Amino acid sequence: MQIYIDGSFYPESEAKISVFDHGLLYGDGVFEGIRFYGGKVFRLEEHMERLYKSAAAIALTVPLDMPALTEALLETIRRNRLTDGYIRLVVTRGKGDLGLSPWNCPKPTIIIVAAKITLYPEESYEKGLKVVTCATRRIAHGALSPMVKSLNYLNNIMAKIEASHAGAGEGLMLNEQGLVAECTGDNIFLVSGGRITTPPISSGALAGVTRAVAIKLAGELGIEVSEPQTTRYDIYTADECFLTGTAAEIIPAVELDSRPIGNGKPGPVTRLLIERFRELTQKEGTPF
């Protein structure tokens, strides 16, 4: 495996960053997870735009412009001789000291890793995931905007631990008002009466790239999509539920808090969207 760090490529055993890097010490940085299929990177421009917006929001200047960073990403895939896989693109504040001040970090660090990924087994796409509501609430906008895809994922990790201890495949996270925000690593959608809903970004969800793709695909199928404030009641009483994320793609959720959603099986709308999404990933993307 060849890993890109600040303009050079290193084998995995030699890929190192400083122990004084503020990404390690404080989770001070941003990242993107990006998929590529059949020699093409899916929704690359959208991921790159979100990375630069996340960086701007935390006053972090990415040391390469977007075209140069894009080429570094594509070259990382080429060097690893992969046609299908996952990219982790990370920009940290860089090496500094043990103090909090970002101004003592003169140069940000860029890391690009290309590898294979399997988030859920195929069985989960056939049978659906069990989900539980987590006690850990989603970080409020006033503390750290959920729009920023930062390196500090402890909020999500604590909720993921809860879900794992409960024997569930995913955990549902509510905001401080008790409204549905998102799952620990995925956006959530409901199907009721032939219409699709998903919580608004203002409720504490990340503006997911796959979320946007799912909304677009539903529109092409003539299915109405809206973004109302959502409660657990809405999930308990929905006909279908599915989750979206770069690593997860589109995956059914069939149970919340031991209550079946709909008939407790992946529904027809969910299955159709999975099929259309998989077709799309094979047709569209940035070739490398």
Q: Which of 119, 162, 109, 159 is nearest to 137 (CA)?
A: 159
Give me the pLDDT at residue 141, please. 87
pTM for this entry: 0.94
Q: How much is the mean pLDDT over the chain?
A: 97
* Helices 209-220, 44-57: inter-axial angle, 10-degree rounding: 140
Condensed to tens digits (0 to 9), the pLDDT of residues 152-195 reads 999 999 999 999 999 999 999 999 999 999 999 999 999 999 99
* Catalytic status, residue 283: no
| Cα separation, 7 vs 69, whole angstroms | 10
Residues in the chain: 288
| Cα separation, 135 vs 26, whole angstroms | 24
Condensed to tens digits (0 to 9), the pLDDT of residues 84-125 reads 999 999 999 999 999 999 999 999 999 999 999 888 989 999
Tell me 29's DSSP state. Answer: E
Condensed to tens digits (0 to 9), the pLDDT of residues 193-228 reads 999 999 999 999 999 999 999 999 999 999 999 999
The percent of residues above 70 in pLDDT, for the chain, comes to 100
Q: How confident is the model at residue 277 (pLDDT cuts 50, 70, 90)?
A: very high
Q: DSSP string spanning 257-283?
A: TTEESTTSS--HHHHHHHHHHHHHHHH
| Cα separation, 68 vs 77, whole angstroms | 15
| Cα separation, 194 vs 186, whole angstroms | 22
Q: Taking the domains of the chain in order of start, what are their residue ranges?
A: 2-115, 122-283
Give me the pLDDT at residue 217, please. 98
| Cα separation, 146 vs 137, whole angstroms | 12
CATH superfamily ID and name for 122-283: D-amino Acid Aminotransferase, subunit A, domain 2 (3.20.10.10)
Give me the pLDDT at residue 119, please. 80
CA distance readout (Å), 98 to 24, 109, 144, 150, 151: 11, 17, 22, 20, 18
Condensed to tens digits (0 to 9), the pLDDT of residues 10-30 reads 999 999 999 999 999 999 999
* Catalytic site residue from 130, 149, 265, 283: 149
In single-letter form, the type of residue at position 182 comes to E
| Cα separation, 36 vs 83, whole angstroms | 7
Predicted confidence (pLDDT) at residue 78 exceeds the cutoff of 90: yes
**Could you count the other beta carbons within 10 Å of the beta carbon of residue 221?**
12
Q: What top-level class would CATH report for the domain 2-115?
A: alpha beta
Give me the pLDDT at residue 163, please. 98
Predicted confidence (pLDDT) at residue 150 exceeds the cutoff of 90: yes
